[in-house]
Structures are given as C-alpha cells and as structure tokens.
Structure 1
C-alpha cells in the first residue's frame, strides 16, 4: 500500500508506492523530456554533448539529466560527457556516489587510520608486558 505524498515537481498529492518519486502527470512529462533528450543524443554530432549543452538546447532540468544518468537510462559508455555530481566534491562521476579522487582520498584516510590504530595497539601491548622492578 502506498502513502500520500506531495509531488516535488508540481506539489500535487499523489499515491507514493516507492516506484516513482513524482506524480503520474509529472512522470509522463519527464518521460517526454527523456525521449526528446535521447533523440538529441542519438544524433552522431550530439553524442559528445555535455550536460550544459543539453540543458541549453533542450531546456530540460539539469537534475533530471543527473537522475537519468544515475539510474542508467543515459549511459556514459554511449554518451561520454555525461555524469552526475560526486556527493562529496561535486565533480562529475559516472558510477557510485563518489568520484575516483574522493574515493581514493577516503581509502587513504582509512589506511592511515588503520595504521594508527595498529600502532596504538602495539604500544599498549608493549606497555602491558614490561614490569616495574622493585
């Protein structure tokens, strides 16, 4: 059973079932815009179009383009200049929530934390093995 929500696009009430984030009217409008964008990108001369260029020519909302790329409806393998913003720095990425740079930064930070914790464990272990002489 769905729950009653406000559509984030038109603010009308709709029955949210977890499938669509917008009401049926807005979903149909988004689908028409998607078809227009896809027709534009299918043309050979437009395959390398950027998000900014698509917004300029078609007039579609940038967030919709990001949503379609994130969901895999517009695939960067076919359209190489498409992506969506990294959740950390905003740089365009094509998979996951973080760009490669932020992913590497987080991994590096975790490795440093692991090394520091390992060092602290060794220090604590060594402190417990020495006995004071009387």
Structure 2
C-alpha cells in the first residue's frame, strides 16, 4: 500500500471530482494558467501544478505523460514532458457555454493561430 502524501490525498478525493463539472471560465482559466503559461515561460508543469495544490494521479509514464487532479471544481490536467517535447491539456465534463468560452480564448491565448482545413481531421468539427 502506498502511504505517500499524494496517495492519501487521492484516496480522500471523491470520484466525481476526478473529472469535475468545471465552469467554462474555470476550464479556460485552468488551461491558460497551468498549460499555456508554463509552455511560454519554460517552467515545469509539475512546479506550476504543485504550487496550485494539484496532486499527481499517476506515475509518470515512460513517454513523460501524467495526470494531475485537484479536489475542487478545477479541471484535471494532463501533461507530457517527455523526450519528444512538452504538451498539456485540461479535462472536464462539458458545461453549457464551454464551447463559446474556448472559441473566445483561442485568439487571446494563441494570437498567431489560424483555422485548420477541416479535411485534415474529418469529424473534428463535431468534437
């Protein structure tokens, strides 16, 4: 049995908090704070997430992937800091207004972003 502080915190977490029903503002704000900011600054995702009281829910995989959870309504954060580069995303159950909030956040977070040709990923527009 793992009695580490992280394991104890995870065992006290309610199952429905692991993928929470986050508000659209929490969803996009978490992405900006825990994904976009560390990517831009070069800061470790783990450092930013630990400072915000997130707990790693999994051991880092060989590819560098890891899931981080919080026992509140902030989204789960999935990060990868592996040999092939760094990536990050947030996960939460869909809420009304989430799509509009994400669409509005993209130009602010990624000013150079351009719409991709839908033919590159058929069906992606329905996700």
TM-score (norm 2): 0.29
* Higher RCO structure, 1 or 2 (CA under 8 Å, sep 6+): 2
Give the structure with the higher percent helix: 1
Bigger CA radius of gyration: 1
Give the structure with the higher percent strand: 2
